[in-house]
Amino acid sequence: MYKVLITDPLSEQGIYQLLEAEDVEVKRKPGLTGEELFSAIETADALLVRSQTKVTAELIEKASRLKVIARAGVGVDNIDVPAATKKGIIVVNAPDGNTISTAEHTFAMLIALARNIPQAYRSVISGEWNRKNFVGVELNQKTLSIIGLGRIGTELAKRAKAFRMNVVAFDPYLSDERAAKIGVKKATFEEAIAAGDFITVHTPLTKETRHLINKETFSLMKDGVRILNCARGGIIDEEALYDAIQSGKVAGAALDVFENEPPGEHPLFSLPQVIATPHLGASTLEAQENVAVDVCEEVLHILRGEPFKNAVNLPSIPAELQQKLAPYQELAEKLGKFISQVASGALTKITVTYSGEVAELEVAPLTRTILKGVLSHHLTDVNYVNAPHLAKQRGIQVVEQKTANTHGFTQLIKVEVVTATDIRSVAGTLLNGFGSRITKIDDYPVDVTPQGHLVFVQHRDQPGAIGRVGTLLGSHDINIATMQVGRQAIGGQAIMVLRIDKPLPQSLIASLQELKEIQSLIEIDL
């Protein structure tokens, strides 16, 4: 009999399948803390929480039988995931349960923003009747630009099309086929920003998306644009938004999330063009039930040894296999991260080729690791378990193959990606005593240590090109740790890969790109 401990309030309907399971005993003890919680966890096989219970390393250490920690929601900030992973406990969440709820809330905010509904309500209940002060705009034939076409963005697009809006979408994984199937116009980020009468963001908050909407991007937008954020606080630079509204560039903004929550006396609240809600995207009865249902299903699958998909940490691998794969794990993830930052355009296919000694192993965990590396450049909710699911969801074909051709190496892993505009590849190996090495980029042989800050430059092979790059870096106090160059023919196409001690400032990147020999420059963070 499996014992499941629930320490936060969860929907009765959501946990119904747990209550009905013959092989499960459910103990509901919301609000349990301190020694009582420590005592209760000792005999639990599964722990279900929302955001109130803090699942600390100390609590996890007390759990002698615990197999799974389930969060009825998306975020796992209240769970010490590394501590759970170290002890072999699977952590799962419910990333899909609030999709409809958040999409509907965003659309409600869209309509409210277009018709000034909250402002008009405040006016009416204060005794006024100023119809002319709240003239809005129709959604019909307006353009909605969606930045991030994942689950929520896709549902939002369906609703916007029902209101006869023109929908333009940017997503780094959006293929032409998927755009056509959804019925949206695929665009670059700049094109989407410039086209929208309304712009809504639905991306994770990552290093790349923090302040994605900023002073520069506001300058690319239409005058009178309206902005929405019901995704994550921090995607929009709130100071820049304030200035854009004050200047008249932005006609209004609807915000459900903020960089700091609660936001307190925020400057944006002084502007009548701004409407706001207190992070209500997932706050519906149905969403709360759905996330409970989702995690309960996952808990039952895990306890019964059945397949599951929403783990946020590494699932268990047989110890013998784990020992053999361990040396390749870092190389695999670094290859994935490298190629994802080099390739441009929507991914359509990833081919992983294993050669030599590594090809003799069960390499599925390594393929998942590579997928995690590729997808994590744009997604925050990707992990070793759900990476294949996320790739399939985005229409990305994943091919795993083995070959005897090692190109002179004892073992070799090659990752090739096909995008809508490009085909790029990277290969790597393990050098005895030296660790991971990138041995080939596209058709150029190299010897690169995949760690730290890298600069990947494609250029024309001309005398002085390398020196001019080095001189510019030196003038900005950027130290070069290593440099690798490769070419195919004298005076033809060439590459250089620099490992540097710190990221390049934007001014230096601009100066490097102005050099006549430089064709492209990509800064890579490994």
List strands edge to edge, sheet with 435-441. 397-403, 347-356, 411-419, 423-431, 435-441, 444-448
Is 514 annotated in the active site?
no
Residue whose pair of structure tokens reads 């309509």 in the numeric block: 111
Q: Which of 279, 301, 407, 468 is catalytic?
A: 279
**8 Å CB contact between 78 and 49:** yes
Choose, from 42, 58, 177, 261, the residue flagged as catalytic. 261
281: nearest Cα among 52, 100, 50, 10:
100
Burial class of residue 99 (count of CB atoms within 10 Å of its CB; 0-12, 13-18, 19+): buried
Contact yes or no for 256/281 (Cβ under 8 A): yes
Residue 245 CA to residue 227 CA, distance in Å, equals 10
- Cα atoms in the 13 Å half-sphere on the side-chain side of 226: 24
* Nearest to 241, CA basis, from 232, 251, 192: 251
Task: Give the whole-angstrom CA distance, residue 217 versus residue 121.
Answer: 32
Cα–Cα distance for residue pair 78/492, rounded to 1 Å: 54
Instruction: Answer for the pair 245, 252: CB distance below 8 angstroms, yes or no.
Output: yes
d(CA 443, CA 440): 7
DSSP 255-267: ES--SSSS--S-G
Cα distance between residue 193 and residue 145, in whole Å: 7
Residue type, 466: I
The torsion of the CA quartet 65, 67, 69, 70, rounded to 10 degrees, works out to: -130
Catalytic (active site) residue 151: no
Q: What amino acid occupies position 349?
A: K
Task: Quote the CA–CA distance of 201 and 135 in Å, as a whole number.
Answer: 25
Rounded to 5, what percent of the chain is helix, strand, coil? 35, 25, 40
Annotation marks residue 459 as catalytic? no
Give the contacts of 38 (CB within 8 A, at least 6 positions apart): 58, 59, 62
**Is the distance from CB of 218 to CB of 193 less than 8 angstroms?**
no
**Active-site annotation holder among 226, 232, 378, 437:** 232
Helix axes 465-475, 506-513, angle to 10 degrees: 160
Q: 118 and 126 in contact (C-beta within 8 Å)?
A: no
* CA-to-CA separations, 389 to 176, 221, 386, in angstroms, rounded: 20, 35, 5
**What CA–CA distance (Å, rounded) separates 384 from 312?**
8
Which amino acids are annotated catalytic?
232, 261, 279
